[in-house]
């Protein structure tokens, strides 16, 4: 024999590297938000998705009906198992539950400095149910935000992180500056909860960029924040700039809302099967 013949099929031996992303978040039994939303979004962009589950929720279109937190040490074990073997080009965090989980996740991510990190600072459900303790928020600010390439708070979350009320565009700009000052590389404040068009603000420490889309009259918006941040991360690890990725994410989430799926008696979920080429 002249050398060893690979036992792998030809198509696998010559398959290009696959972009990989990990979502560290809660599981939504209704499939509309959390790790389910992130994995569907990664798939839509052609990114291979993996997960570390922080909590299991009993959830449907009407709200969150129960939360069972995964022990922080096991959250870290999930993340380390994936990163040590399969690797990742990007990590996205969502619901982290408590201070110990935030600390465990930050410690694990700190070992992988080349991995892109998008932090969606989930603090409460749409119905107002707390999803991150006050101590957890403090640890998130101290340990996780300084590692982030991008932080994506909504208005309520931006108010908590910036320590100020937000009611006008000038408030959003000041809040962005304050959050950037916490150590992240960039911040995107989502303006969907303000009046008028759905206008978001991206600040990278030098330039402020607004991303605007006409507001869509629908209540079926479950999983919007998860989808938006997962879409941005997907674009970033596919080689696009932060500004380009934010724009693509904005168009993707807008299209997904426009074609939302009205399942259940409450808020339906987004349709993440929208064609990437059309956004």
**Residues acting as catalytic residues:** 190, 221, 223-226
Contact at 8 Å (CB) between 119 and 151?
Answer: yes
Decide: 191 and 199 in contact? Cβ < 8 Å: yes
| Bridge partners (DSSP) listed for residue 212 | 199
């Amino acid at each position: 024999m002249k050398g060893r013949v690979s036992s792998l099929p030809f198509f696998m031996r010559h398959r290009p590297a696959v972009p990989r992303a990990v979502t560290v978040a809660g599981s939504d039994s209704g499939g509309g938000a959390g790790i389910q939303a992130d994995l569907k979004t990664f798939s839509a962009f052609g990114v291979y998705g993996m997960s570390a589950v922080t909590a299991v929720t009993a959830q449907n279109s009407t709200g969150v009906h129960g939360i069972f937190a995964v022990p922080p040490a096991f959250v870290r074990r999930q993340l380390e198992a994936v990163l040590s073997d399969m690797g990742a080009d990007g990590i996205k965090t969502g619901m982290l539950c408590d201070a110990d989980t935030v600390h465990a996740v930050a410690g694990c991510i700190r070992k992988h400095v080349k991995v892109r990190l998008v932090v969606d600072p989930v603090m409460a459900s749409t119905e107002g149910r707390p999803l991150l303790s006050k101590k957890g928020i403090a640890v998130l600010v101290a340990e996780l935000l300084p590692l982030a390439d991008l932080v994506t708070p909504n208005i309520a979350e931006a108010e908590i992180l910036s320590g100020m009320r937000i009611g006008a565009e000038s408030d959003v700009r000041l809040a962005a500056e304050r959050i950037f000052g916490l150590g992240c590389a960039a911040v995107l404040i989502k303006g969907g909860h303000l009046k008028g068009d759905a206008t978001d603000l991206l600040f990278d420490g030098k330039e402020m960029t607004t991303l605007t889309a006409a507001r869509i009259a629908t209540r079926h918006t479950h999983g919007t924040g998860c989808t938006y941040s997962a879409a941005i991360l997907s674009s970033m690890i596919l080689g696009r700039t932060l500004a380009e990725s934010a724009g693509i994410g904005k168009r993707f989430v807008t299209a997904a809302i426009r074609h939302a799926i009205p399942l259940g008696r409450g808020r339906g979920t987004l349709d993440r099967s929208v064609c990437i080429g059309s956004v």
